[in-house]
Amino acid sequence: MIQTQSGQETGPAKRDWEPKIVAFLCNWCSYAGADLAGVSRIQYPHNIRVIRVPCSGRVNPVFLLRALQNGADGVLVSGCHPGDCHYISGNLVARRKFALLKELLQYAGIEPERVQFTWVSASEGGRFAAIVEKVVEEVRRLGPNDKLVKKL
Amino acid sequence: MTEKRIPHTDLDRLLDRLRGLGAVHAPTRDESGDVILAEVSPGKPVVLDYKNFPLSPKVFLLPQTQTLLRFTNGKPHEPAPVAGNGGPSQGDGRPPNRQAFLFGVRPCDARALLALDEVFLGGDQRDPYYERLRAKTVVIVLACTRPMSSCFCTSVGGGPSDEAGADVLAIGLEADLLLRAITPKGEDLLSSAADLLGDATPPAIEEAQERARKAADQIAPVELDRSAERLRNAYDSPLWGILSQKCLGCGTCSFLCPTCHCFDITDEVRGDVVRRVRTWDCCAYPLFTLHASGHNPRPTPKERWRQRLMHKFRYAVENLGRLFCVGCGRCIRNCPVSLDLRAVFRELGA
Amino acid sequence: MSASHEIETRLRETAEKLLREKRVDLFLGYEKASLPFRTTPLFLTSPEEVKRLAWNPFCTTNLAVYLPRLFKPPADAREAKTAPPPPTVGLVLKGCDTRSVVALIQERRVPREKLMLVGVACPGMVDWRKAERALREHEPLGAGEDAQGNIHVVVEDGTELTLRREEIVADACLECRSPTPSIHDALLGTPVEGKDPEAARQQTAAFEAKPLSARWAHLQETFSRCIRCNACRQACPVCSCCKECLLDQTRPRWVGAGTDISDVTIYHLVRAFHMAGRCTDCGACARACPMGIDTRLLARKVNQEVEDLYGYRPGEALDAKPPLADFAADDSQDFLTEP
């Protein structure tokens, strides 16, 4: 079971610090949904940086860990709803990967709010914005990420 | 050559004196109960009841991860302290500002430092990173009294109370520790603590020799005579293929070996910051000799395992005049499949 | 006469027959090593040498690790023309080893028809590090099994001691649920009951009872000992699938090569994740680690999640589909974020 640890401060939030969220969006659904949010002028937090992937199934767990290592405070992965994948079953295989990854990272002590997964379809501009709001808020409450961060 | 002694009960006072001069690393127990060589703060118990440390002291002179350079926006700058565990396996390129006293190094590991000196300081170029650390390191060897069944220092020119590589050799006696200065650094160390030390009496020296003899007797000899010549003649022996089949290419032997020194240099880039870092590498890895074309001159474990032994027991002898093995036995003890290089020399014959 | 001795005799007979009748080209087993509490793998090709084969409480190595290299496909068409046909390999396997072989067969790394699996029901194998620690200051010269299955040791001054097997048996064996090989062409030894899965569950539950920051601190402390030697990866039978391991790749370099704690943590997390649905908890990784890191800490959790979420235990059935190459319409979605 996933437990949320909301309200738990994990590190001092620097003044003027803004969370940096890296979002992996699948090209056919989630990226289009984000685009729709933009075209519809729906306001949502500017904290996400989008990386477009062909399919949520393309996302390798090492991408998420690398993002955290390079300074991201949180990661979001979004794909098509099950049954709607442009490549038929990419998101279905991804679903299993993400379920296990989320459990493993939480087990290791990484706050579950920092690594989040969702499905957003091409017509769900509003849903996309709402999810981004939620993710940014949750990461803001946690403070800057200090796990896996590598200083060069 | 100054010989002094100090009662065992006064060892802490000696180490305290050294703390005034630099960082003192001594044998101490870690969380899992193993005895490691680590910096001991005052009050932390020093353990003298150990065989040898899991990692060899080469880690103090050639850290597993060492920052060589940093650039920001194309301009080099002084390395900032490296984040992370900061233990002996990490280092940055800054010259150390303190002496490091390594107390409790075994004779085999000290002898290995001389082999590393050959590699990093012996050629036309001197490795500045190694040199800086070496200049600030003082090695106090503690002679062995209880060899392990994997030890064979006596077959490679060493011994349980060998002096090679030591600045000071310490031999544990019944009530005292005998301290013998071997190098000028060692003489300096003994003079800086002169008030704590008594003179070594003839009976004490006698006792030390007796203990050394007893320890050496317990070590089984290995036929390593003329190893270079025998290996040269056996290059194409089918023995290599047979014995190396088991090798997993795991790297444990090289990483734990006190004389192995191969390294890789990588540039890590993020934005406009570049860090050049040196890390340990191992010739048993297939990637070690993989060419950009895809060709690998050492394609199977056979070539790689043969190379490892050739390097240590033949090429090093032919090129540098010394064996690159000190008989510490770490490779034998820790190999996950219990490969034993002594078996090679047994099978090779004359 | 210890139980192992009987099995050893039958094992030698079996291997001798297989080699003499040319039903196998190669027989993989164990032989006595140069140090006590160990054996070393033995690659036998001639029936005359079967007396080197040993079976005792020190037969720890998972021999399945050698199969991928024995069945390596030719690199290209040119090599395929001159490459010899794959050998038929017989090997002696404990329960955990058998499950690794099954995982390899499922992934088409190794053809079932080219293997002769000689299974042995395993009562648990000795971890040499635990044994040496139990001996304290003594130096072992020789060790063997007594009639009760305990370990009889001779130390440096000639004294003889007995170490109780359950105190020095490997950690993985203490939680082993499949000591008896389920798939075999021959089975030696009396079938042994697996341990209650509760044993392993309690370990993960105890870790999960800690707050997140304590878990992270524990892992950082454990991984601070890692020297990135890759022994855990090389000792693992299933961790050899990629032509080039992701963790070795340089273009791009996903993980730095050094001991920066961030890189070390990512290495272990990624390896544990890649084992999902494939790790048979044989413990080879933990035994190979020269620094005493408990690599099974993460693997155990991943195995339990795969079992809970997808009802799958690696290495049970030859025709099962690996869970991460598969999906079901009703797979759990509890982990998703909803606005």
What is the average pLDDT across A133-148? 96
Quick one: tokens of B77? 């700058």
Asked whether residue B76 carries a pLDDT value surpassing 70, the answer given is: yes
What is the average pLDDT across B117-131? 93
Residues A64, A68: Cα–Cα separation, whole Å: 6
Contacts of A150 in chain B (CB under 8 A): 83
Query: According to the model, what pLDDT value does residue B41 have?
Result: 85
**A107·C301 Cβ contact <8 A:** yes
**B246·C43 Cβ contact <8 A:** yes
Asked whether residue B350 carries a pLDDT value surpassing 60, the answer given is: yes
Query: According to the model, what pLDDT value does residue B97 have?
Result: 74
CA triple C309-A130-A98, angle to 5 deg: 20
Closest approach of B127 to chain A, Cα-based (Å):
23
**A62·C254 Cβ contact <8 A:** yes
DSSP C201-227: HHHHHHHHTS-HHHHHHHHHHHHTT--
A81 contacts chain C (CB < 8 A) = no
Greater pLDDT, C307 or B350: C307
Quick one: tokens of A5? 């640890």
Closest approach of A148 to chain C, Cα-based (Å):
5
What is the average pLDDT across A47-57? 97
Query: According to the model, what pLDDT value does residue B81 have?
Result: 45
Contacts of A149 in chain B (CB under 8 A): 83
Instruction: Report if residue C296 sits inside a domain.
Output: yes
- Tell me the residue range of the domain where C306 lies: 197-325
**A151·B83 Cβ contact <8 A:** yes
Greater pLDDT, B43 or B105: B105
* Domains, chain A: 18-142 (3.40.50)
What is the average pLDDT across B122-138? 92
Instruction: Report if residue C124 sits inside a domain.
Output: no
C258 contacts chain B (CB < 8 A) = yes
Closest approach of B128 to chain A, Cα-based (Å):
21
pLDDT tens readout for residues C73-99: 888 888 889 988 999 999 999 999 999
Size of interface A-B (CB pairs under 8 A): 12
- Per-residue pLDDT band for B33 (boundaries 50, 70, 90) equals confident
For residue A34, the Cα-to-chain-centroid distance in whole angstroms is 13
Q: What radius of gyration do chain A's Cα atoms show?
A: 15
What is the average pLDDT across B30-47? 87
The owner of tokens 């002590």 is: A109
Closest approach of C84 to chain A, Cα-based (Å):
37
Q: What radius of gyration do chain C's Cα atoms show?
A: 21
- Per-residue pLDDT band for B42 (boundaries 50, 70, 90) equals confident
Contacts of C41 in chain B (CB under 8 A): 245-246, 337
Query: According to the model, what pLDDT value does residue B84 have?
Result: 34
Nearest to B51 by CA among C138, C304, A83, A58: C138
ipTM of this model? 0.94
Residues A108, A105: Cα–Cα separation, whole Å: 5
Instruction: Report if residue C73 sits inside a domain.
Output: no
In Å, what is the CA distance from A28 to each residue of A32, A60, A110, C278? 6, 18, 30, 31
Residue of C nearest to A120 (CA): C338
Contacts of A151 in chain B (CB under 8 A): 80, 82-83
Chains that touch C (3 or more CB pairs under 8 A): A, B
**C262·A89 Cβ contact <8 A:** no
Query: According to the model, what pLDDT value does residue A89 have?
Result: 95
Residues B300, B289: Cα–Cα separation, whole Å: 11
B289 contacts chain C (CB < 8 A) = no
In Å, what is the CA distance from C321 to each residue of B166, C104, C272, C313? 60, 12, 19, 11
Quick one: tokens of C216? 């992270």
Residue of C nearest to A103 (CA): C305
Closest approach of B92 to chain A, Cα-based (Å):
11
C64 contacts chain B (CB < 8 A) = no
C291 contacts chain B (CB < 8 A) = yes
Looking at chain C, the whole-number percentage of residues with pLDDT higher than 70 is: 99
CB contact set of B31 (below 8 Å; sequence gap of 6+):
C221
pLDDT tens readout for residues B260-317: 999 999 999 988 899 999 999 999 998 999 999 989 999 999 999 999 999 999 999 9
Residues C188, C120: Cα–Cα separation, whole Å: 5
Query: According to the model, what pLDDT value does residue A14 have?
Result: 53
Q: Which of A20, A146, A150, A152 to mutate to test the interface with B (most CBs of B within 10 A)?
A: A152
**B340·C230 Cβ contact <8 A:** no
Quick one: tokens of C40? 């070393």
Closest approach of B251 to chain A, Cα-based (Å):
24
| Average pLDDT score, chain C | 93
Nearest to C149 by CA among C13, C280, C77, C56: C56
Q: Between C35, C228, C248, which is nearest B150 by CB? A: C35
What is the average pLDDT across C44-64? 96
Quickly list H helices, chain C: 3-20, 67-70, 77-82, 95-106, 128-134, 165-168, 171-174, 198-208, 212-223, 231-235, 261-274, 284-288, 296-310
Asked whether residue A13 carries a pLDDT value surpassing 60, the answer given is: no
pLDDT tens readout for residues C227-248: 999 999 999 999 876 778 889 8
- Written as one letter, the residue type at B230 is R
Closest approach of A104 to chain B, Cα-based (Å):
22
Residues B122, B323: Cα–Cα separation, whole Å: 15
- Per-residue pLDDT band for C251 (boundaries 50, 70, 90) equals confident
Chains that touch B (3 or more CB pairs under 8 A): A, C
**A95·C333 Cβ contact <8 A:** yes
User: Phi and psi of C83, rounded to 5°?
Assistant: -70, 140
Closest approach of C316 to chain A, Cα-based (Å):
20
B260 contacts chain C (CB < 8 A) = no
pLDDT tens readout for residues A22-38: 999 999 999 999 999 99
Q: Which of C327, C331, C334, C338 to mutate to test the interface with A (most CBs of A within 10 A)?
A: C327
pTM score: 0.93
Closest approach of A18 to chain C, Cα-based (Å):
21
Looking at the 3D structure of chain C, how many domains does it have? 1
Question: For chain A, how are helix, strand and coil distributed in percent, rounded to 5?
Answer: 40, 15, 45
Query: According to the model, what pLDDT value does residue B79 have?
Result: 54
The string over A90-127, giving b where at least 16 C-beta atoms fall within 10 Å of a residue's C-beta and e elsewhere, is bbbbbbbbbbbbbbbbbbbbbbbbbbbbbbbbbebbeb
Whether the Cβ atoms of residue A111 and residue C215 lie closer than 8 Å to each other: no
What is the average pLDDT across C168-190? 94
Asked whether residue A8 carries a pLDDT value surpassing 80, the answer given is: no
Residue of A nearest to C266 (CA): A65
For residue A76, give the DSSP letter.
Answer: E
C45 contacts chain B (CB < 8 A) = no
Instruction: Report if residue C122 sits inside a domain.
Output: no
Contacts of C333 in chain A (CB under 8 A): 82, 95, 99
- Per-residue pLDDT band for A76 (boundaries 50, 70, 90) equals very high
- Per-residue pLDDT band for B62 (boundaries 50, 70, 90) equals very high
Looking at chain C, the whole-number percentage of residues with pLDDT higher than 90 is: 83
Residue of A nearest to C306 (CA): A100
B61 contacts chain C (CB < 8 A) = no
- Per-residue pLDDT band for B78 (boundaries 50, 70, 90) equals low
β-pair type (A21-26, A48-53): parallel
Length reported for chain C: 339
Query: According to the model, what pLDDT value does residue B330 have?
Result: 97
Instruction: Report if residue C247 sits inside a domain.
Output: yes
pLDDT tens readout for residues B44-61: 889 998 999 999 999 999
Asked whether residue A3 carries a pLDDT value surpassing 70, the answer given is: no
Contacts of B83 in chain A (CB under 8 A): 149-151
Asked whether residue A45 carries a pLDDT value surpassing 60, the answer given is: yes
- Written as one letter, the residue type at B222 is V
